[in-house]
Structure 1
Amino acid sequence: MSEQAEIFVGDAIKAKLQEALNPVSLEVIDESHKHAGHAHAVMRPGTATGHGGTHFHVKVVSEAFKGKSRVDRHRTINGLLQQELNAGVHALAIDAKAPGE
């Protein structure tokens, strides 16, 4: 994978969450470079140098999470990003809040 592919994965994640959740704020942080030497990264072409788009941290604030448990919030995001998770996103850290939290 090229660095362009890494950017595309992050952009795809951001676009899907933006469309589905209409967030007050949304931040998608690519943390793949922190995991470049891990076994799963070495096995995937292009990821050994940190350009695989495999690890992301999502910080999102949305009305869609109002009254939902932490587990339900994570299930919602994981469901929206199932395609990316199936395609090689190895880890997804999630901070999901409703406005005012």
Structure 2
Amino acid sequence: MEALLATAFAPTRLVVSNDSAQHHGHSGDDGSGESHFSVLIESAAFTGKGRLERQRMVNKALGDIPGTRVHALAVKAVAPGESA
């Protein structure tokens, strides 16, 4: 995920967190330890874009990862100067 997002957005900040352990035994936990993730990304590409458009941009950059290989993905996408 990090490589795909770095290539697509040239972020000034990128944090990908694996939250799967917090969801062990819950719906969507496939036992792989890679089912739930959070992303914090800051990029000039998000300037002037709304929250939903930013989410769509991130999902597009990740291809088939959200929804197939990863059960849940929480995204916080901000432009430089915005609070995360």
Same fold (TM > 0.5): yes
If you compute each CA radius of gyration, which structure gives the higher value, 1 or 2?
A: 1
More strand by share: 2
The corresponding residue for 2:25 is: 37
Normalised by the length of structure 1, the TM-score is 0.76
Q: For each residue in 1:6-33, what CA deviation from the matched residue of structure 2 results, as whole angstroms up to 9, or x when unmatched?
A: xxxxxxx000000000000100000001
Identity of counterpart residues, as a percentage? Answer: 41
Normalised by the length of structure 2, the TM-score is 0.90
Displaced runs of 4 or more, over 2 A = none
Tell me by how many angstroms 1:40 deviates. Answer: 2.5
- Contact (CA 8 Å) 2:44, 2:80: kept in 1 or not? yes
Structure 1 gaps of 5+ residues are 1-12
C-alpha distance in 2, partners of 1:36/1:92? 15
Structure 2 gaps of 5+ residues are none
Cα RMSD over matched residues? Answer: 1.2
More helix by share: 1
The corresponding residue for 2:44 is: 63
